[in-house]
Amino acid sequence: MEYYNTLAKDYDKIYKNKNKDIEYMRIIEQEILNNEVKKNYLILDIGCGTGEQLNYLRNYNILGLDISLEMAKKAKNKTGKFLFVGNAEYLPFKNKSFNCVISLFGALNHVQINRVFKEVRRVLTKNGVFIFSIANVYNLGWIIGSLKKRGLIKTKRAIKHKKGDIVKYIDGKKIRVNTKFYSIKDIENILKKYNFYIKYTFGTNITNSPLDRIIYKTFLKNFGVYIGAVAIRK
């Protein structure tokens, strides 16, 4: 919790769209949202942070949920949307409340993902849409950097364990959060476990260039910084 509340202060500064990596990621995310989200949907944004997607979908019926009170305050001030402070593993909503659930930019890397997918299924209507992205264990850029820094054995060990810490420095203070990483195969298996139909999977930040808009659904998606899926509740 401390990680998110501390990060909230400088979140928009750190992840602003002027950062080219973030810009290319947002382009893919927004293209997917444009294609998959309908105007009559009631939408839940899990791990909404300071409200990037809430703001993008401001003309839709959308609610935000974040575990951090400070993040939720920022999102509320930025978007005017209704916000809930809560845990994605125990969603404070009735069964079949939403037509669409989104969770983008890796919020699901910090939770018990099986529990969250079960909850998402519960709150989605039949044929409801689940759109999410998550940090990729086979991130090619990270693998190349790790091979140079740590060597082959330690890199293979890190990939096998699929977990580690994300570390940030805010006002000279070191903060960290435990993070789990996944592959395309992992998320496909979990979606199937909870009886979702997988419409397609995708990757972002594959080349960090305009080329990503062409290849984000191809085999190369397996090597993006983030991977995700558009899935339908059966």
**What average pLDDT does the structure give for the chain?**
90
Categorize the per-residue pLDDT at 22 as very low, low, confident or very high, splitting at 50, 70 and 90.
Answer: confident
Torsion from C-alpha of 70, 71, 74, 78, nearest 10 degrees? -170
Cα of first residue to Cα of last residue in the chain, in angstroms, is 34
Mean pLDDT computed over 9-23 = 63
Ramachandran angles phi, psi of 117, nearest 5°? -60, -40
Of 66-80, 165-179, 185-199, the poorest mean pLDDT is in 165-179
- For 80-100, give the secondary structure using H, E and C: CCCEEECCCCCCCCCCCCEEE
The CA R_g of the chain, rounded to the nearest whole Å, is 17
Fold classification of 2-233 (topology level): Rossmann fold (3.40.50)
Q: In the chain, where are the structural domains located?
A: 2-233
Mean pLDDT computed over 71-87 = 94
Q: pTM (2 decimals)?
A: 0.91
pLDDT(190) > 60: yes
Residue 156: CA count within 13 A, CB half-sphere: 3
